């Protein structure tokens, strides 16, 4: 399986209240890259991610995923395009009262006849596939547990399994480990890295810690006030660049 290419052209997002969250972003992501997006809080990382699958409508500019112009798609086309773009969230965004298995299966909804899903019917092969994805992220025994009874790290792994259920070419991970402890952060990021390396899924991942960006990213893009201020290899971020991105007073903290 090959990952998708992402092309972003002159993307601008101005929120209704006038906040200019993204300003003329142009960015190319090659298939199979692990692109880490860094930047201060409020720099526009989440907005950028959500403009790619149009959870947020961009104000202007174009987004292409594998030469499909996402920004030009009608609602039904957008829905189809979204099926191949997995998304992982900082707050996991699981349906808390539902079982882990149902949460994973819900990743496949876009492919199923609507009537099936309304009755809560998923064919046996799909349920088996869901359990396989849970195996991939190391928690097959939790399939029938309620999602809100899992730890944060386990919930995020369910989030990954849900994205896998989409059979994605591209994964958007918006601060997937920001609410997890260092050790759990690494284990979650390793699962994502695995998908990237083994299956070639393109990953766009925003992170707060530079050390994590260095460890996992094949390329790093830094945002500042809605603009790209750095685009290069992780090891190119030195003291000087760091201060450019995070400001003069910032001091780098390491995460184990």
Ligand X SMILES: Nc1ncnc2c1ncn2[C@@H]1O[C@H](COP(=O)(O)OP(=O)(O)OP(=O)(O)O)[C@@H](O)[C@H]1O
Binding site for ligand X (CB under 6 A): 15, 17, 19, 21, 39, 41-47
Give me the least distance between CB of 53 and other proteins, in Å please.
6
Q: Which is nearer to ligand X, 17 or 125 (CB)?
A: 17
Burial (0-12, 13-18, 19+ Cβ within 10 Å), 59: middle
29-37, 62-70, 109-117, 242-250 -> range binding other proteins (CB under 8 A): 109-117
Give me the least distance between CB of 174 and Mg ion, in Å please.
6
Q: Distance between CA 151 and CA 184 in Å, rounded?
A: 10
Give me the least distance between CB of 132 and ligand X, in Å please.
32
169 binds other proteins (CB under 8 A): no
16-24, 25-33, 93-101, 188-196 -> range binding other proteins (CB under 8 A): 93-101
Strand stretches in the chain, DSSP E:
6-14, 20-29, 34-39, 60-65, 68-69, 85-88, 170-174, 202-206, 219-224, 227-232
Q: Which is nearer to other proteins, 180 or 237 (CB)?
A: 180
- Touching other proteins, residues 202-241 (CB under 8 A): none
Put residue 45 in one of left, alpha, beta given phi > 0 → left and psi -120 to 50 → alpha.
alpha
Mask for 40-59, x = binds Mg ion (CB under 5 A): ------x-------------
Q: Is 224 helix (H, G, I), strand (E, B) or coil?
A: strand
Q: Distance between CA 89 and CA 29 in Å, rounded?
A: 20
Q: What angle do CA 176, 177, 180 make, to 5 degrees?
A: 140
Q: Under a CB-based contact definition with an 8 Å cutoff, are residues 63 and 26 in contact?
A: no
109 binds other proteins (CB under 8 A): yes
131 binds other proteins (CB under 8 A): no
Q: Which is nearer to Mg ion, 46 or 196 (CB)?
A: 46
Give me the least distance between CB of 251 and ligand X, in Å please.
18
Q: Which residues pair with 220 in a beta bridge?
A: 36, 232
Q: Which residues pair with 199 in a beta bridge?
A: none
Angle between helices 124-136 and 152-165 (to 10 degrees): 130
28-36, 111-119, 203-211, 234-242 -> range binding other proteins (CB under 8 A): 111-119
Q: Which is nearer to ligand X, 37 or 101 (CB)?
A: 37
188 binds other proteins (CB under 8 A): no
Give me the least distance between CB of 133 and ligand X, in Å please.
27
Number of Cβ within a 10 Å radius of residue 256: 8
Q: Distance between CA 109 and CA 106 in Å, rounded?
A: 5
Residues forming contacts to Mg ion in the complex (CB under 5 A) are: 46
Residues forming contacts to other proteins in the complex (CB under 8 A) are: 53, 55, 79-87, 89, 91-98, 102, 106-111, 114, 117-118, 159, 162, 165-166
């Amino acid at each position: 399986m090959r990952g998708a290419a992402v092309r972003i052209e002159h993307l601008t997002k101005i929120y209704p209240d006038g906040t200019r969250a993204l300003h003329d972003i142009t960015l190319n992501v090659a298939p199979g890259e692990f692109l880490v997006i860094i930047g201060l809080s409020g720099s526009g990382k989440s907005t950028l991610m959500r403009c790619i699958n149009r959870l947020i409508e961009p104000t202007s500019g174009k987004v292409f995923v594998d030469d499909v112009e996402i920004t030009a798609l009608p609602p039904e086309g957008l829905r189809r395009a979204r099926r191949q773009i997995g998304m992982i969230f900082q707050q996991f965004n699981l349906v808390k009262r539902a079982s882990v298995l149902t949460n994973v299966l819900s990743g496949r909804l876009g492919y199923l006849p609507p009537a099936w899903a309304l009755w809560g019917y998923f064919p046996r092969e799909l349920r088996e596939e869901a359990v396989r994805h849970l195996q991939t992220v190391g928690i097959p025994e939790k399939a029938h547990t309620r999602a809100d009874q899992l730890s944060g790290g386990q919930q995020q792994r369910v989030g990954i399994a849900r994205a896998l259920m989409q059979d994605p070419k591209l994964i958007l991970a918006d601060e997937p480990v920001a609410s997890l402890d260092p050790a759990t952060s690494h284990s979650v990021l390793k699962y994502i890295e695995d998908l990237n390396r083994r299956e070639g899924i393109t990953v766009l991942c925003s992170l707060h810690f530079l050390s994590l960006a260095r460890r996992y990213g094949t390329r790093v893009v830094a945002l500042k006030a809605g603009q790209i201020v750095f685009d290069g290899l992780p090891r190119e971020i030195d003291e000087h660049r760091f201060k450019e991105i995070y400001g003069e007073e910032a001091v780098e903290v390491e995460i184990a």
